[in-house]
Structure 1
Amino acid sequence: MRGPDPPKWSVSQDSLGAQSTAESSAQLVHPEKDYLCGIFSYRPAWLQRFAHPRWYFMNYVLMGILSGAYKSYLVGTLSTIERRFQMSNSTTAIILIADNISPIFINVVAGYYANRISRPKLMSLGSFIVVLSCMFSILPFVIYGPGITDEEMEMARAAQKLRVCHDKSLGGYRDGCSDNQAWVPFLLFFFANFLNGSGGSVYYVVGSTYMDDNIRKKTRLSTSASFALRLLGPVLGFLTSSFCLTFHEDFFTPVGLSKRDPRWVGAWWLGYIFFGIALTFVALPMMFFPRILPMGKDQKANKVMSKKTGRGAIKVDVRPSRIFPEVSSDFIRVQQEIWLSVVRLSKNPIFALKSIGFVFFIIASAGYGTSFTKYLEHQFGRTASSASFLSGVSKVLTNMIGIMAGGLLIQFFKPSARKVAIYVALIEATYLSGYVALSFIGCQSKTIRGLTDFIGPYHGEPLDYHDAATALTNSCNANCTCSVNDFSPVCSSIGTLFSPCYGGCRTQELSAKGIPLSYTNCTCVDPLSTTETVQPGYCGSTCSTLVLYLVIVSLCQLVGSSARPGSILLYLRCVDPVDKSIALGAGSSFINLVAFIPYPLIYGYVLDKSCILWGKKCDGSRGSCKIYDIDKMRYLVHGTTIGLLSVGVVCYALVILYAQRIKHFYSEPDDSDEEEEKQKNEGTVNKNGVEADTNL
């Protein structure tokens, strides 16, 4: 009895002739295997029902939400980490930059191998790298454990003393600061965030191209929907951090502290366990998706790549160098191909202009976004929690709506590439005009008695710690243990005072939770009165322009985000299908290098230039800013943003001149090629597009 036929291996044209050393080391595999769900040789029939774009889309979005939540969770717990491990703001800023450094090295390589290795498996690998970063983030807790240090206890006692005036003669007072640095936790957090950037890069570069190549006809809507839904990631991260920090770092042992106590350290490590487990469950199914979805369009796109390379088979590199790369001619050839691809992309005017414009938009939008919460706090007198809530509502929600709306517009109207380029340029110009309007909306500058008058001779230059202490100290508070580091404005009958201590207030009324309600016996307000009360906060601190400001910000986000789906489509369609993955990789590396790393430094410098009064660290060096010139802050922040956006708008406007070069904005390149080949077989096509029979 005859046994089963051996599998039919596809053979490329090059295999029939002489081959180079590099090409002969690659094997050709059974094409049908690349369309089946499974891993290795395990590809059962019941698993093939999941080889559908909708299952990939669900897994892709969940992976994006969880990956995006990592960074916002880190930001949400950052102040707690600073308090627990005595890190400065400059130290934690380096940690935040780490995930923007790794993509510079990862993106181009991931983009190059995306078309040569199974992309779902690459995405799964990227997610497991993020899981590994979660494990490294927990290590500081595992190594050091929970603890309330003596420094934190001293800080709490110092904070209680600084609220009101205490005589210096009582002694026993110190600032309650610490210069200790935990370098091991810093290195662990830095490396963890570096790994997170590496895994996130693989997800972005590989995942978006796989979806674009495999979700036929609905790519525009699916792309915008994925962008919008992935914005739930930052929301999830902030909500998770808020929940975890309600528990103490060691929640198995009662500590007898309230959450408002300065010694309170929340369970900052708890969320990393949740994200690590959740990402593991999402990454495992992604590993089983096929290299090419059978219901997608990549089967035809492979024909395009075959025509470009002159091969008729799907080539999968199975050389040992996939696991342990050897320094050989093959490795050199790969580097040369990557370099040639990058050079070819740099000569593409649409790709170059979009990349440059996107850099300026990223610096402007990301920089403005990171300073937005602080801007609301100081410009409009909002609390940190209120500012964070308003930031989420005015930015995240409107971004989701705008992206979905932009995707629907493209899906139903299907405008040409040039019309999309015009729409993107006009929308970004409107976005720019909104920020011009925002630069004129603000609140009246606040004055502090004794300090604001002293700033005058310095022409707005910032004061150091000693100058401020000199300006605020007089005979009524000279014997008080006041500190410029304790800035807590209070309103009195003579105006806003720097703090109750500098107001000479010796008694305070506290609520049941220990929150100051009022201060009395203030010798700098009325030395003869013991009943006049001083209230916490600025005098006349209400500002009616906040609502108008938030409305304009929300409209800017709504309108501006509607251009994102079209902008991404232009970015994907302006390059050859073979170069699509490396285009995203090279573009992402370029953007990370010149946009994501510089923007914290640029906007940090802008905010520092608007500072009036700096605090002091225990070693005498400059601390954090205590008081800002809100007028100067408004003009500097918005002026910088407007300048950056203007360059981006010019680049996007120039794209209009070249947009007509994109020939296959909606249809696939192979569709027209197949139709042309069919017409050549059946007849000819005249110049007017009318078919003529060659037999006539």
Structure 2
Amino acid sequence: MLRSRQAREGSEADTHCGWWGWHPAPLQRFASAEWVLVCFCVAGFVQGMVISGFINVSLPTLERRFHLRSVEAGLIVSMYNVGSLMLMTPVTFFGSEMHKPRIMANGVFFMGVGSFLFTLPHFVAPQYKYSQEVKDLCPFEEDKATIINPEGSRALRNYRFVFMVANLVHGCSTVPFYTLAIAYLDDNLTARKSSWYIGIYYTAAIIGPAVGFILGGMLLNVYTDITVDPRSLGLSPSSNVWIGAWWIGFLITGCSAILVSVPISGFPKTLPGTAEMLAQKRVEVDTRALEAEHDAVRLRLSDMPKAVYHLLRNNTFVFISLAATVETMIGSGYSNFATKLFENQFGMTAASAALLLGMIAIPSASLGCFLGGYVVSKLDLSCANIIRMCIVVSVVTWFVFFMLLVSCPNLHYEGIDITKKLVLTPKCTSECGCPLTFNPICGRDFKMYMSPCLAGCRNAAQNEEAVTVYGNCDCIPTESSDNSSTEFVVAAERVRCTQECSAYLFYTLGTFICLFSTF
């Protein structure tokens, strides 16, 4: 009788909200699918915002700030997939019979921890060198602020390991988001409600990256050192050496994730009324195969290979997984470096590129997700017909990728040949004694120069927009009428040169169609 009572109390606790045996009555109003969906959507939104939004937006900025190579930035991104791969199988295998909301809550919490780890280099690394006034004119006067320390550059590059660990934590922690969370919604809802709720959940996860791009772009317009006025340094977001406040977004997502993990951990293992609903729910799989697999596979670590073997025997599952893998490989590679591509190809600032990509992503992904669900529902497509539709859409997307092969001419840096060997003209270096520093400026001839000193600039000032401008530049040709000894003639600005390129429209349209087709 005691065992029966304990079993009954345990069963009741499995359908009540609370923590560690505390199940107050006022909290039970939240033991509903609607509140579960709200909290899951917030978690999915934050996950998309940080993983596919802030990280992708910040990569070019992190490369400049910490002297990273593109391959190292790619390794930072790939650590997310490494973390997911490490825990995907054990979490889904053992989590299928465990308390799914609590596992989900742990994942959300550690996602917040990963976001905080990602901001750590900003607070412990030395101050950004351009947060001090840099004197880089001809003739060059050596100053501690302008001396390049190779050891310091290598030390900054070592922070890439912190980013890798942080993104590894991201990957490990977000495994339950698209496995156990989906299973929990499906297990506790009717077939019709389940499709709607899962669709809403995915929509929130889709909007997250788009908002991450837009918000991340806005934050990149804020100088990384918020205690310094960039106008006093002659810096603006259009300056090549500008570093935006990339780290603020990760603080926002870190706090949000930890806060939302609390209510998620309080949801019951099973929602009230689920048992009655399951009794009436239509089974859409081969029950004989399901029972055979359930008898053959038990929740033991030694039986995990057997469970994987059963999955690999399902040819449809295998080929759909391979298709999703290839699609993710292409999509991730493009999205991770899309911001850098738009910067380099079209002369955009990091903030402008992020804002543009965000504005492309929101309508394309949302419209694709909505129309896909509408077509399937309206035409009542079977699984086989859904797969056929996906094949047709994938073929269309394959042709669209050729639009992205159109390229723009690279900006010409005066003094650098095709092989990237520095070749300085005597006119620029005969009297200046310039160091080989990278402090680029844009001349009136629409060419980029490595630094004001290497362009032979002797004077500097600030214009109305607080951008540093340079005059009396020996290497930059000016009109003879402008050569006045009494008037400061602007020969260069501390910005990136812009260029006209028709490929801009092709890239924008191609990105829109690819995102629309993918979702």
Q: Give yes or no for TM over 0.5.
A: yes
- Give the 3 Å change call, closer, same or farther, for CA 299–101 of structure 1 in structure 2: farther
SS of 1:506's equivalent? strand
Match of 1:221 among 178, 191, 196: 196
- How many residue pairs were aligned? 497
1:550 shift after superposition:
1.5
Task: State whether structure 2 residue 212 is matched by structure 1 residue 232.
Answer: no
For each residue in 1:523-548, what CA deviation from the matched residue of structure 2 results, as whole angstroms up to 9, or x when unmatched? 56369772586455788822344234
Distance in 2 (CA, whole Å) between partners of 1:384 and 1:141 is 18
Specify the alignment match of 2:182 in structure 1.
Answer: 208
1:364 shift after superposition:
1.0
For each residue in 1:117-150, what CA deviation from the matched residue of structure 2 results, as whole angstroms up to 9, or x when unmatched? 11111111212222333454566677x4x8647x
- Give the 3 Å change call, closer, same or farther, for CA 505–350 of structure 1 in structure 2: same
Distance in 1 (CA, whole Å) between partners of 2:498 and 2:118 is 44
The 5-angstrom pairing of residues 286-435 of structure 1 reads 286-295=264-273, 297-298=277-278, 334-435=300-401
Task: State whether structure 2 residue 26 is matched by structure 1 residue 50.
Answer: no
1:427 shift after superposition:
0.8
For each residue in 1:169-221, what CA deviation from the matched residue of structure 2 results, as whole angstroms up to 9, or x when unmatched? x5558553543316986555443332222111122221112123323213333
1:60 shift after superposition:
0.8
Match of 2:80 among 99, 102, 105: 99
Kindly indicate whether the alpha-carbon contact (under 8 Å) linking 1:497 and 1:503 is maintained by their aligned counterparts in 2: no
For each residue in 1:92-130, what CA deviation from the matched residue of structure 2 results, as whole angstroms up to 9, or x when unmatched? 554433322222221111111122111111111212222
Match of 2:436 among 470, 483, 502: 483
Task: State whether structure 2 residue 261 is matched by structure 1 residue 283.
Answer: yes
Kindly indicate whether the alpha-carbon contact (under 8 Å) linking 1:76 and 1:241 is maintained by their aligned counterparts in 2: yes
Specify the alignment match of 1:436 in structure 2.
Answer: 402
- Give the 3 Å change call, closer, same or farther, for CA 188–448 of structure 1 in structure 2: closer
For each residue in 1:535-576, what CA deviation from the matched residue of structure 2 results, as whole angstroms up to 9, or x when unmatched? 557888223442344234213322332xxxxxxxxxxxxxxx
The 5-angstrom pairing of residues 519-598 of structure 1 reads 519-522=471-474, 525=477, 530-531=483-484, 534=491, 541-561=499-519
- Give the 3 Å change call, closer, same or farther, for CA 186–374 of structure 1 in structure 2: closer
Kindly indicate whether the alpha-carbon contact (under 8 Å) linking 2:206 and 2:366 is maintained by their aligned counterparts in 1: yes
Distance in 2 (CA, whole Å) between partners of 1:449 and 1:279 is 47
Kindly indicate whether the alpha-carbon contact (under 8 Å) linking 1:98 and 1:190 is maintained by their aligned counterparts in 2: yes
SS of 2:441's equivalent? coil
Distance in 1 (CA, whole Å) between partners of 2:246 and 2:344 is 27
Task: State whether structure 2 residue 26 is matched by structure 1 residue 73.
Answer: no
- Give the 3 Å change call, closer, same or farther, for CA 84–371 of structure 1 in structure 2: closer
* Aligned residue type for 1:278: S
Distance in 2 (CA, whole Å) between partners of 1:85 and 1:375 is 19
Kindly indicate whether the alpha-carbon contact (under 8 Å) linking 1:51 and 1:294 is maintained by their aligned counterparts in 2: yes
Match of 1:122 among 103, 107, 110: 103
1:363 shift after superposition:
1.3
Match of 2:165 among 191, 207, 221: 191
Specify the alignment match of 1:590 in structure 2.
Answer: none
Q: What is the RMSD computed on CA atoms of the aligned residues?
A: 4.4
* Aligned residue type for 1:197: G
- Give the 3 Å change call, closer, same or farther, for CA 533–522 of structure 1 in structure 2: farther
- Give the 3 Å change call, closer, same or farther, for CA 444–309 of structure 1 in structure 2: closer
SS of 2:458's equivalent? strand
Match of 1:260 among 228, 231, 235: 235
Match of 1:64 among 44, 57, 61: 44
1:373 shift after superposition:
2.0
- Give the 3 Å change call, closer, same or farther, for CA 389–81 of structure 1 in structure 2: closer
1:275 shift after superposition:
3.1
SS of 2:302's equivalent? helix
- If the length of structure 1 is used for normalisation, what is the TM-score? 0.60
Q: Which moved more, 1:300-309 or 1:49-58?
A: 300-309
- Give the 3 Å change call, closer, same or farther, for CA 248–310 of structure 1 in structure 2: closer
Distance in 2 (CA, whole Å) between partners of 1:556 and 1:521 is 46
Which consecutive residues of structure 2, in runs of 5 or more, have no partner in the other structure?
Answer: none
SS of 2:352's equivalent? helix
- Give the 3 Å change call, closer, same or farther, for CA 215–414 of structure 1 in structure 2: farther
Distance in 2 (CA, whole Å) between partners of 1:228 and 1:490 is 46
Distance in 2 (CA, whole Å) between partners of 1:511 and 1:121 is 57
Kindly indicate whether the alpha-carbon contact (under 8 Å) linking 2:44 and 2:205 is maintained by their aligned counterparts in 1: yes
- Give the 3 Å change call, closer, same or farther, for CA 397–517 of structure 1 in structure 2: farther
SS of 2:436's equivalent? coil
Task: State whether structure 2 residue 110 is matched by structure 1 residue 113.
Answer: no
Distance in 1 (CA, whole Å) between partners of 2:39 and 2:205 is 12
Distance in 2 (CA, whole Å) between partners of 1:91 and 1:117 is 38
1:489 shift after superposition:
3.9
Kindly indicate whether the alpha-carbon contact (under 8 Å) linking 2:404 and 2:506 is maintained by their aligned counterparts in 1: no
The 5-angstrom pairing of residues 135-214 of structure 1 reads 135-137=116-118, 144=124, 148=127, 156-157=133-134, 160-161=135-136, 166-167=138-139, 175-180=147-152, 181=155, 187-214=161-188
Kindly indicate whether the alpha-carbon contact (under 8 Å) linking 1:73 and 1:237 is maintained by their aligned counterparts in 2: yes
Q: Which moved more, 1:31-40 or 1:277-286?
A: 31-40
* Aligned residue type for 1:213: D
For each residue in 1:473-503, what CA deviation from the matched residue of structure 2 results, as whole angstroms up to 9, or x when unmatched? 23454333263734434242xx746456555
* Aligned residue type for 1:246: V
Distance in 2 (CA, whole Å) between partners of 1:356 and 1:148 is 45
* Aligned residue type for 2:188: N
- If the length of structure 2 is used for normalisation, what is the TM-score? 0.78
Distance in 2 (CA, whole Å) between partners of 1:96 and 1:412 is 38
Distance in 1 (CA, whole Å) between partners of 2:344 and 2:221 is 25
Task: State whether structure 2 residue 421 is matched by structure 1 residue 474.
Answer: no
Distance in 2 (CA, whole Å) between partners of 1:347 and 1:340 is 11
Q: Which moved more, 1:196-205 or 1:35-44?
A: 35-44
Distance in 2 (CA, whole Å) between partners of 1:539 and 1:83 is 18
Kindly indicate whether the alpha-carbon contact (under 8 Å) linking 2:472 and 2:491 is maintained by their aligned counterparts in 1: yes
SS of 1:133's equivalent? helix
- Give the 3 Å change call, closer, same or farther, for CA 38–503 of structure 1 in structure 2: closer
Distance in 1 (CA, whole Å) between partners of 2:404 and 2:93 is 43
